[in-house]
Amino acid sequence: MSPVTERNTPPRTAPPSDASARKAVISCRRPTIDDAIRIWEIARDSRVLDLNSSYAYLLWCRDFHDTCVVAELYGQVVGFVTGFVRPTEPDTLFVWQVAVDESARGHGVAASMLGNLMDHLAHQGISRLETTISPDNAASIALFTALARNRYTTITKRELFTPSHFPDSHEAEELYVIGDESTQGAQR
Ligand SMILES: CC(C)(COP(=O)(O)OP(=O)(O)OC[C@H]1O[C@@H](n2cnc3c(N)ncnc32)[C@H](O)[C@@H]1OP(=O)(O)O)[C@@H](O)C(=O)NCCC(=O)NCCS
| pLDDT given at position 177 | 98
The answer for residues whose C-beta is within 8 angstroms of residue 164's C-beta and 6 or more apart is: none
Nearest alpha carbon to residue 158 among 174, 142, 143, 138: 174
The answer to the question of residue 183 being in a domain is: no
The answer to the question of residue 147 being in a domain is: yes
How many angstroms does the Cα of residue 86 sit away from the middle of ligand 1?
A: 24
Number of compact structural domains in the chain:
1
The answer to the question of residue 46 being in a domain is: yes
Q: What is the mean pLDDT of residues 169-173?
A: 96
- The pocket around ligand 1, CB under 6 angstroms, is made up of 46, 48-49, 97-100, 105-111, 137-140, 142-143, 146
The answer to the question of residue 35 being in a domain is: yes
Contact between residue 53 and residue 107 where contact means Cβ atoms under 8 Å apart: no
Residue nearest to atom 34 of ligand 1 (CA): 146
The answer to the question of residue 186 being in a domain is: no
For the CA atoms of 150, 171, 173, 40, what is the dihedral angle to 10 degrees?
70
Residue nearest to atom 35 of ligand 1 (CA): 146
Who wins on pLDDT, 4 or 101?
Answer: 101
Say which amino acid occupies 2.
S
Q: How far is CA 67 from the centre of its chain?
A: 10
CATH number at residue 160: 3.40.630.30
The answer to the question of residue 127 being in a domain is: yes
Per-residue pLDDT tens digits for 45-75: 999 999 999 999 999 999 999 999 999 999 9
> Confidence band (pLDDT; 50, 70, 90) for 175?
very high
Domain containing residue 141: 4-9+18-178
> Confidence band (pLDDT; 50, 70, 90) for 1?
very low
C-alpha pair distances (Å), 43 with each of 8, 157, 184: 31, 24, 34
- Count of CA atoms in the C-beta half-sphere (13 A) of 59: 6
How many angstroms does the Cα of residue 81 sit away from the middle of ligand 1?
A: 13
Residue among 105, 117, 144 to mutate when testing ligand 1 (max atoms within 8 A of CB): 105
Q: Give the number of other Cβ atoms within 10 Å of residue 117's Cβ.
A: 23
Q: What is the mean pLDDT of residues 24-34?
A: 94
Per-residue pLDDT tens digits for 95-140: 999 999 999 999 999 999 999 999 999 999 999 999 999 999 999 9
